[in-house]
């Protein structure tokens, strides 16, 4: 299966050689999918895994507790899109802060520094896609807490420290700048 990037903007094509896909159509009803992990205060549920698409992309739903979210980071291998379904988020994109609400779509090309935080009164909910898929899924499994039944988010003390998360990120082409206090200790 081939996946073609937008060549009009000077991006190259991504080919997923020898990747297998399931040929059957797929229907995932609302509220369903494969819950895989609590990752830094966010519940990640796969709607369509990269395995299902032959590596072309992955689509997942992210439910974010108030005040939680992804710290600023750069994905060097994937483009990412966020479609806000519920709540309010603040996105940091290359030094700019953008406040968005339900119905907003953000596209973040690879190589762009970005992060987000749920800033609404209740939980936020987004559909997030990554093209190509695969690496981020494995990153989530490594840094998150597997979901068994209705298990809740990790307690603050049970989470991996930021240096460990940053080191794991490097393995998956994700650069996570450490806060100044952490860099000064190194």
What ranges do the domains of the chain cover?
Answer: 39-145
Span 97-130, pLDDT tens digits: 999 999 999 999 999 999 999 999 999 999 999 9
Classify domain 39-145 by CATH architecture: Sandwich (2.60)
Q: How many helices (H) and strands (E) does the chain have?
A: 3, 14
Please report the pLDDT score of residue 13 as a whole number: 34
Measure the CA–CA gap between 70 and 73, rounded to whole angstroms: 8
Q: Among 38, 102, 115, which residue's Cα sits nearest to residue 71?
A: 115
DSSP 180: H
Residue spans of alpha helices (H) in the chain: 135-143, 162-171, 180-185
Measure the CA–CA gap between 132 and 122, rounded to whole angstroms: 31
Reported confidence tier of residue 160, pLDDT bands at 50, 70, 90: confident
Span 39-97, pLDDT tens digits: 877 989 889 989 889 999 999 999 999 999 999 999 999 999 999 999 999 999 999 99
Reported confidence tier of residue 14, pLDDT bands at 50, 70, 90: very low
Chain Cα centroid distance, residue 47: 13
Partners of residue 80 on adjacent β-strands: 108, 130
Measure the CA–CA gap between 132 and 110, rounded to whole angstroms: 10
Reported confidence tier of residue 25, pLDDT bands at 50, 70, 90: confident
């Amino acid at each position: 299966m081939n996946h073609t990037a937008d060549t009009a903007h000077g991006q190259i094509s991504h080919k997923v050689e020898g990747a297998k896909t399931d040929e059957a159509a797929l229907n995932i009803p609302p509220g369903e999918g494969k819950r895989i992990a609590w990752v830094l205060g966010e519940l990640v549920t796969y709607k369509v895994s990269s395995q299902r698409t032959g590596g072309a992309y992955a689509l997942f739903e992210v439910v974010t507790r108030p005040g939680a979210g992804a710290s600023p980071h750069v994905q060097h291998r994937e483009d990412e899109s966020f479609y806000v379904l519920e709540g309010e988020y603040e996105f940091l994109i290359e030094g700019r802060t953008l406040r968005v609400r339900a119905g907003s779509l953000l596209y973040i090309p690879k190589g762009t520094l970005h992060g987000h935080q749920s800033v609404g009164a209740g939980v936020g909910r987004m559909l997030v896609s990554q093209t190509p898929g695969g690496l981020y899924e494995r990153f989530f499994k490594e840094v998150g807490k597997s979901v068994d039944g209705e298990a809740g988010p990790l307690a603050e003390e049970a989470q991996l420290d930021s240096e460990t998360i940053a080191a794991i990120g490097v393995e998956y082409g994700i650069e996570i700048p450490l806060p100044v206090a952490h860099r000064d200790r190194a």
